A = this chain, B = another copy of it.
Amino acid sequence: MMAHRTHRIMVIGFGTVGQGFYELFNAKRRALGLEGSRITEIVDMRFGYTNMTDESHVREYLGNVDRTISSSDVVERIKASDADIVCEFTWVNYRDAEPAFSYMKAALESGKHVITTNKGPIALRYRELMHIASENGRKVRFKGTVMAGTPSFNILDLLPGARPVRVRGILNGTTNYILTRMSEGLSYSDALKEAQSRGYAEADPTNDVDGFDAAAKAAIISSVFGWDHPMDRIRVEGIRNITAEEAASGTKLLVYADRDEAWVRPQVLDDGDVLRHVKGVMNAIEIETDTLGKIYSMGPGAGKIETAQAALTDLVSISRSE
């Protein structure tokens, strides 16, 4: 096991992913050689701020819904913090990526590395964010924005020298679940209702069914691979008009990206295509490289511990690079 530095970690946003990270980090830090590292502060607009982060205090903290604070107070807490890593787990906003963007900016400018699972700032304001990070000599890691902890764009870390040529993917579990259930005979609206009742789709399903979530992932992958496709220039078509027959013939909501273009749209995949056989909420990515041709990674694209694994991967990556 490689030697690690000792880290003081501030968690911003203590919903499902934040709590998952708290549990996973504490369960695994000894095995990772991070026994000296601690989650030292937690802040969430609903529960306020705390620096008492042992289990019993955290349970109490989650009951204190009367201590809500504003996003500008959160920014002040970040600036004042003596943490060296900020983990940002707040909600996604595809309009201007706020308040997550301001949180990350405050963290970087006060000398902290940033780990996030939030697609907004990475899909919409990647260059701006990387510029701030580089000006301050800090890192931004965001594995959890594409396929949760399942290897996705970071699989290239295992392929030094390989150059990505093109990407296809099934990167939105909600729509893949709906299409899978439709291929088994359900109507679109019944499949959507079922996805909502199982917690896969939100009450307002727009971001998923209209393809915006998938487009954000196309933008993120493009940035990582050095292709310039900002989210607002990615052509997007969702699944609202897909029929049960189309679903049964192997229609999937496909994400595509190469150097020249990026798009999201329903596409019929033929039976010999491995991606056609990705069922339910599972995610999958096909990356074509110059040395290996097409390789695939598949697995969960969401979930409490599954997404926390991504943040843990980012944490160890930052720790080892110091």
Contacts and interface: CB of A to CB of B under 8 A. Distances in A.
Interface of A: 2, 24, 28, 31-32, 148-151, 154-155, 157-162, 272, 274, 276-279, 282, 284, 291-300, 305-306, 308-309, 312-313, 316, 321
Contacts of A2: 321
B158 A151 contact: yes
Given A24-B161, A161-B24, A272-B279, A298 B299 contact: no
- Stoichiometry (number of copies): 2
B291 A158 contact: no
B160 A32 contact: yes
A148 B289 CA distance: 14
Contacts of A274: 274, 277-279, 282, 298
A166 to B, nearest CB: 15
A278 B273 CA distance: 9
Taking chain A's interface residues, is the majority helix, strand, or loop, or is none over half, making it mixed? mixed
A321 B321 CA distance: 11
Contacts of A293: 299-300, 306
Contacts of A150: 292, 295
Given A297-B297, A298-B296, A161 B291 contact: no
Nearest to A295: B299
B299 A158 contact: no
A160 B293 CA distance: 27
Nearest to A319: B160
Contact of A299 (B161, B296, B313): B296
